[in-house]
Amino acid sequence: MTYGCLASMKTRPGCRDEVVSILLSAVDGLREAGCDVYIVGLADEDDTTIWVTEVWKTKAHHDASLELPEAKAAIGKAMPMLTGEFTKREVSVAGGLGL
């Protein structure tokens, strides 16, 4: 089955928009790396939480994407603006609209 990842992260106050911009700037090349869905969402209940929903052809594709120079640069740029509070759920994707 297709690999999915549902993750959240908390930013330092006032940093969410900049982190979102970094996350969205990193989408170039994701499709070629095996990504079918990459969605960055904002929590309505606070102004520091970001949700990222990803669907990949395989977990290996996802893991390999984290080694791309563009991904490493984006992660390095965003990390100082994050609090270190993360959640992550890995799922097997059975299907859905757009897949």
**Mean of the per-residue pLDDT values for the chain?**
95
Domain-located, residue 44: yes
Residue 28 has a pLDDT of: 84
Domain-located, residue 54: yes
CATH of the domain at 75: 3.30.70.100
Domain-located, residue 96: no
CB atoms within 10 A of CB 26: 20
Residue 26 has a pLDDT of: 80
Residue 98 has a pLDDT of: 83
Rounded to an integer, what distance in angstroms lies between the CA atom of residue 93 and that of residue 56? 9
Rg (alpha carbons) of the chain, rounded to whole number: 13
CB atoms within 10 A of CB 30: 19
Residue 99 has pLDDT above 90, yes or no: no
* Number of domains observed in the structure of the chain: 1
Domain-located, residue 95: no
Domain-located, residue 25: yes
The predicted-structure confidence for 14-46, as pLDDT tens digits, reads as follows: 999 999 999 999 888 899 999 999 999 999 999
Percent residues over pLDDT 90 in the chain: 88
Domain-located, residue 80: yes
Structural domain of residue 77, as residue ranges?
2-89
